[in-house]
Structure 1
Amino acid sequence: MTQDTGMWLDGHLAPVPDEIEALDLPVTGALPPELSGRYFRNGPNPQPGRPSGHWFTGPGMIHGVRLRAGRAEWYRNRWVRTRELTEDAPYVRGDGTLDLTAVPANTHVVPHAGEILALVEAGLPHAVSPDLETLGPRDFGGRLTTAMTAHPKRDPATGELLFFGYGFLPPHLTYHRLAADGRLVESREIKVPAGTMMHDFAITENHVVWLDLPVVFDLDLAMGGTSMPYRWDDAYGARLGVMRRDAAGDVRWFDVDPCYVFHVGNAHEDAAGRIVLDAVRYSPGDFTTLWAMISGAADPAREAGLLDKASLHRWTLDPATGRAAEEPLDDRAVEFPTHDDARTGLPHRYLYTVSGNAIVKYDVRDGSSSAREFDGDVHVGEAVFVPAEGARAEDEGWLLSIVSGTSSADLVVLDATDVTRTVASVRLPRRVPAGFHGNWIPDS
């Protein structure tokens, strides 16, 4: 495939050409009145005439829907205006240093300490306004000198935002802790053998869980101009690391079977003091096939094949024995696991995933699952859980997802207690390209 015909420029991944706005969107069903806020969803969207060389490197565009008082007041989409987009600034400067503001900011969007941050794991976060205007990069008073992961974890008890930065230059991994008021209060290097593509991590009440897996930075690929210079390396090995959040002691590493994980569901500590991690696992063969597909080196027979490679998996890490037990939770192909954010790092019962044209709800306590399938040639986005006010059950609330076809899209609101039931859908004024991650940002 050439750069102009990469699969990330066609079909459900094809970018939209401009920024628009629409007011008073049509609603089918009844939007819950307590859904007062904004649903934002980020993803790559190359500008016309400036195609990206890889799906993961297109400039970020956030699609937003404003809900209030049972109405869908507006839709708008805006590019995140980083220096890469507005100035064509290079990520690697002439002196070999990195410009952490020259990034696509295309992976996630999260609220913290009164700001909304657009994230990509290669650089600094960029703040955007509630109306999706770019406010600029954030380095937390100059204290953040590494990139920031697109998958930070908010501690529901303390309000802290825990995150990390990884890179192909030392330090390869740095742990950061952002206070609830937005102050960066801790940064600490974590020793790992080399730079790996560490996309996600997990936290528990007392620990951080690292994913040191065998997808490594390759200098030869970088020198050859590959936009994502990472490859599978059997020799690197695979391990999960457990680190106390109070910085007492070193990281304890647990060897696991070779695999790769893009996305963690959740983790917690069980009654025996073991660390339990639920995540979406790729086998070595499935990862290398997927990596070739999304890099454009192989032509997927169908776009849905991007998600037909991984399944939900559980690791139980036992500090008493130093061993990790692994078990599949299902054989269904899934991605983009989510949960009630109030359960982050704590025991959880439910996880929500995407599987082809369906949203799947897992009850990890009894092993059951249920699914909401959507008809037609559609792309189903990550399902974001929004708890109901005063919820007493973990699944009491709604799931929000953008379901997009070839010419139109809907923001779908499902009953999380029964995912087969659609509460409401909001017709958007255009299709929305398949992207990555979104968030519900309540007015409160």
Structure 2
Amino acid sequence: MASKPYLTGHYAPVTDEITAAELTVEGTLPPELTGRLIRNSHNPKPGITPTHWFKGSGMVHGVRLRDGRAEWYRNRWVHTPALDGAPYMTDQGPDLTVSTAGTHVIEHGGRLLALSEAALPFELTADRETVDAYDFGGKLTSTMTAHPKEDPASGELHFFSSSPFPPYLIHHVASADGQALDSQEVPGASAALKHDFAITEHYVVFLEGSVTFDPGEHSGIPYGWSDAQASRIAVMPRGAGGARQTRWFEIGQGYAMHFANAYEDARGHIVVEGPAVGREGWQRSWNWWVGAADRGAEPNSGSRSRRWTVDLAAGTVEEQQTDDLTVEFPTINDRFTGSEHRFQYALSFPDDQGIGNHTLVKYDRSTGARRLLPFGTGQLPSEAVFVQAEGTTGEDEGYLMTIVSDLNADASRMVVLDASDLTVPPVATIHLPRRVPATIHGSWIPDAAL
């Protein structure tokens, strides 16, 4: 196990499923926080050593809040065929129900969906039990990204299917109730790895970086860095027939795993923001993910915030690094998805030798200021999830929720922070009944959504 960093420390899997009721709360939980914080993680069963961090079976962890109380904590494996060892590749091709379902968990149309980009989503009950693979009533016959985007105005869910073989990229839009699905193949795409994307009011934005299909990669995730793979941004108009008008723009070499947001500025330019890595950062991160030598001390090496500004009229892209911290997991107030946001949150990592502490970062894009909330040695917060405070309209008037893995105490806690001021003490701290392994992505699901 020592050679596999994703099975040790903050990432060490738990071995069972538990339920604990009436959790201890320090501070005061606002009664308006009625719902569930759900996090997803790669958590292989005991005795299983996956060849890649992302190959570990998905496990969802949930905390239920109601009436100022933390009613329960539950963790459950997502019971897909992969959990019991079923092969993804068959004589008939990939079995899209054989999913790790360990990257993200969202709600759409009243359904909870556990996501992993190489397969179909899996529906869960409100109490984390697995229902079955979900294919939008038979309309989805390809994979689904783990990073769909819900339009805050229409409630439509945008997502994509990608493949190392043609068709390389398909864009989908599901209706707000999840019943209708419109799909378009995106022309000009390649076998480059596409993990995330973005939407604006009028466009869908994809990014192909310098990481592409590599049949010689034997970790089970067949991708690798290629200097020959051009890095490009694709801009596709939203709506029927938009794919036929897709334009591709070359950018500097690199790879962006996640995007914070995209929007159209006052000049009509398309602005896209998110962390990106170069060749060395990618390779040292990948080596951590597979347990190879010459790896960074953390799963993220050298990923720094970038901004791409696409001038459609001129046919050009301006790129700039906007901060020098090594960050990942960028988030915003989701009400601003596709429109210009002021505040942005991220998780900053120790340096490549493991020196320093994990830190939550808040960026103010209007003033250029950043606020750091460092956590102590041996403590790792999860990606910050923003929840709007009841009766407020300000972009940062709300709460940030994170689950902190604490190796010092072999325990975890859920922390509710005042998003408007990270310098004040937490609004509330919920002590969880066990250490929760470092999770990937998650969501706050209010009761009204289910």
What's the TM-score bracket when you normalise by the shorter of the two chains? over 0.9
Matching of residues 2-401 of structure 1 within 5 Å: 5-86=3-84, 88-95=85-92, 97-221=93-217, 225-246=218-239, 247-248=241-242, 249-298=244-293, 300=295, 302=297, 305-356=298-349, 357-401=358-402
CA contact (8 A) 2:284 2:296 kept: no
Partner of 2:353: none
2:45 and 2:188 map into 1 onto residues whose CA distance is: 37
CA contact (8 A) 1:7 1:299 kept: no
**Which of 426, 429, 449 in structure 2 is aligned with 1:425?**
429
1:56 and 1:309 map into 2 onto residues whose CA distance is: 20
2:249 and 2:361 map into 1 onto residues whose CA distance is: 30
2:308 and 2:392 map into 1 onto residues whose CA distance is: 29
Unaligned runs of 5+ in 1: none
CA contact (8 A) 1:144 1:184 kept: no
CA contact (8 A) 1:266 1:345 kept: yes
4+ residue segments displaced more than 6 Å? none
Q: Report the alpha carbon displacement of residue 184 of structure 1 after superposing the two structures with TM.
A: 3.5
Partner deviation per Cα, 1:199-232 (whole Å, 9 max, x = no partner): 10000001000111121111233xxx43111110
Partner deviation per Cα, 1:19-66 (whole Å, 9 max, x = no partner): 111111001111111000000000100100122111111000000000
Question: Is the counterpart of residue 410 in structure 1 residue 403 in structure 2?
Answer: no
Partner deviation per Cα, 1:76-105 (whole Å, 9 max, x = no partner): 10000011113x21111023x110000100
Bigger shift: residues 184-193 or 423-432: 184-193
Partner deviation per Cα, 1:311-333 (whole Å, 9 max, x = no partner): 11111000111100011111111
CA contact (8 A) 2:162 2:170 kept: yes
Q: Report the alpha carbon displacement of residue 5 of structure 1 after superposing the two structures with TM.
A: 3.7
2:312 and 2:141 map into 1 onto residues whose CA distance is: 33
Q: Report the alpha carbon displacement of residue 359 of structure 1 after superposing the two structures with TM.
A: 0.7
Q: Report the alpha carbon displacement of residue 193 of structure 1 after superposing the two structures with TM.
A: 5.0
1:424 and 1:412 map into 2 onto residues whose CA distance is: 6
Unaligned runs of 5+ in 2: 350-357
Query: What's the TM-score, normalizing by structure 2?
Result: 0.94
- Number of residues paired by the alignment? 435
Identity among equivalent positions (%) equals 48
Q: Report the alpha carbon displacement of residue 18 of structure 1 after superposing the two structures with TM.
A: 0.5
Q: Report the alpha carbon displacement of residue 415 of structure 1 after superposing the two structures with TM.
A: 0.2
Alignment CA distance shift 1:307-1:226 (3 Å)? closer
Partner deviation per Cα, 1:129-164 (whole Å, 9 max, x = no partner): 110000111011111011000000000010000000
2:188 and 2:406 map into 1 onto residues whose CA distance is: 43
Alignment CA distance shift 1:390-1:119 (3 Å)? same
Query: What's the TM-score, normalizing by structure 1?
Result: 0.96
1:395 and 1:140 map into 2 onto residues whose CA distance is: 34
CA contact (8 A) 2:219 2:290 kept: no
Alignment CA distance shift 1:192-1:6 (3 Å)? farther
User: Aligned AA for 1:259?
Assistant: G
1:157 and 1:62 map into 2 onto residues whose CA distance is: 29
Q: Report the alpha carbon displacement of residue 301 of structure 1 after superposing the two structures with TM.
A: 5.9
For the aligned residue pairs, the C-alpha RMSD in angstroms reads 1.3
